[in-house]
Amino acid sequence: MDFKTGSELLTLCEQNNTTISDIMCQREITMVDATLDEINSKMQKAFKIMMDAVHLPLTEPVKSMGGLIGGEAAKLREMRRKGSSICGTILSKSITYAMAVLEVNASMGLIVAAPTAGSSGVVPGLLLALKEEYSLADERLIDGLFTASAIGYLIMRNATVSGAEGGCQAEVGAASAMAAAATVEIMGGTPKQCLNAASTALMNLLGLVCDPVAGLVESPCQSRNAIGVANALTCAEIALSGIDQHISFDEMVGTMLSVGRGIPYELRETALGGCAATSYGCEKACSIFGGCS
């Protein structure tokens, strides 16, 4: 059940008349020499950590290590409770939950890197919103996590998920692709539609730079996770409607890597350009770390 490309993954799904999540689960059983129960137990543990990270800042708001973020998720939840949200329930919840996870990460809490710490809010944010909106059983969400894992694995194998190597397109872009594919499978889409959604998600965030203020995974990382879930939801909707993606997932992964290599050094997690180089960014770096004249 091993596969190295999206094309190989689709072939396995077609040959076995099954889903991406099932193929990925079978691959894990083979690769780590474990039983189905053991693999499911590990994914259930990851799922629980994700859900805890979503809820913690909403009940116990925490400040980030750098002091740049903290309390944003609670404000978004309050806006929705007042009926003031302009995004609609599922998108509003997704944004809130994704930003909540970044608060946990930035305060040294426990999260699941999906695929990185800086993009850890996208997958759990969207999945929990789907769970609440459609009253989904945990088992369906865990299937979605296996699908997301397959997408993440392929991006890591054939490109990168490192902001230092490929910019934020490689972090939030990859997370958005993972969440989009997971959403499509959870909502009854085909494996091909899952890869269509993932390809579109990468396309939409192609070229996104990594420019953390003061070099901290706080700002603009938190709001980019919100964009990641919005992008994933949009791409899932497009794919589920039957609209094809002209550029294959495999080609899009290769394109993302090529574009990432072309992003200037200053815009790849060095905090030397972009948002980090604004007057606000420089002032914050000085106030946090000192040493400025």
Tokens of 229: 């879930």
**What's the average model confidence in pLDDT over 30-42?**
93
Task: Please state the pTM of the whole predicted model.
Answer: 0.97
**pLDDT tier, 292 (very low <50, low <70, confident <90, very high otherwise):** confident
State the number of CA atoms in the 13 A half-sphere of 11 facing the CB.
8
**pLDDT tier, 100 (very low <50, low <70, confident <90, very high otherwise):** very high
Contacts of 241 (CB under 8 A, 6+ apart): none
pLDDT at 1: 80
Residue 61: is its pLDDT beyond 90?
no
Distance (Å, whole) CA 272 – CA 264: 10
Contact (Cβ atoms closer than 8 angstroms) between residue 177 and residue 198: yes
Domain-wise residue ranges, the chain: 6-288
Q: Which fold has domain 6-288?
A: 2-methylcitrate dehydratase PrpD (1.10.4100)
Closest CA to 235 of 207, 206, 195: 195
